[in-house]
Amino acid sequence: MKVLARPLILAALLVPFIVLSSSAIFIEENLKDPALESRVRAISAEIRCLVCQNQSILDSNADLAKDLRLIVRERVALGDTDQEVRRYLVDRYGDWVLLDPPFKLTTVLLWLGPVMIFIFGAIAMVIFLRGRSHASKEDVVVKLSTEEEMEINRILDSDSRG
């Protein structure tokens, strides 16, 4: 009996930990409807915590992140679409609040810059490599002038005599 009780007690003690680790990261009031709550999570994961720079508000325990999560929950509960919730936050904090910046005129350089640099680099490399192979062909083609030929013959002659 005693032998059996021990693992049972241990298991009972561990239960809360198992439950905690599989539930919310931060303990706060979730929406009752699990479908809505999962939308809240999905939106929050894409919203930048403004005071911690590269964390989403879902991951952050900052005060402002908590407030913003609350707002996301409120908007979703009020029946806003995902787009409307994001709009609400962008109106107040700008595109910066989105971890995934939208593609528009002011962000063209951000999105296309790397591609442009890649293309520019590729072109530069092609030009460079072509130029080099040309140069090596030219090297082969170059012939000695008659004077140079005579000079060499003279040196070789004097060498063989000495």
- Give the three-state DSSP class for 47: strand
Cα–Cα dist 89/120, whole Å: 37
Structure tokens at 152: 């060499």
Q: Does 71 bind other proteins (CB under 8 A)?
A: yes
CA atoms within 13 A on the CB side of 37: 9
Stretch that binds other proteins, among 3-11, 38-46, 64-72, 134-142 (CB under 8 A): 64-72
Q: Min. distance of Cβ 64 from other proteins in angstroms?
A: 6
Q: Min. distance of Cβ 87 from other proteins in angstroms?
A: 12
> Which residue in the set 31, 36, 77, 90 belongs to the binding site for other proteins (CB under 8 A)?
90
Q: Does 50 bind other proteins (CB under 8 A)?
A: yes
Query: What's phi and psi for 29, nearest 5 deg?
Result: -70, 120
Q: Does 92 bind other proteins (CB under 8 A)?
A: yes
Q: Name 95's Cβ contacts closer than 8 Å, sequence gap at least 6.
A: 101, 102, 107
Question: Which spans of this chain sit near other proteins (rule: CB under 8 A)?
Answer: 50-51, 53, 63-64, 67-68, 71, 90-94, 96
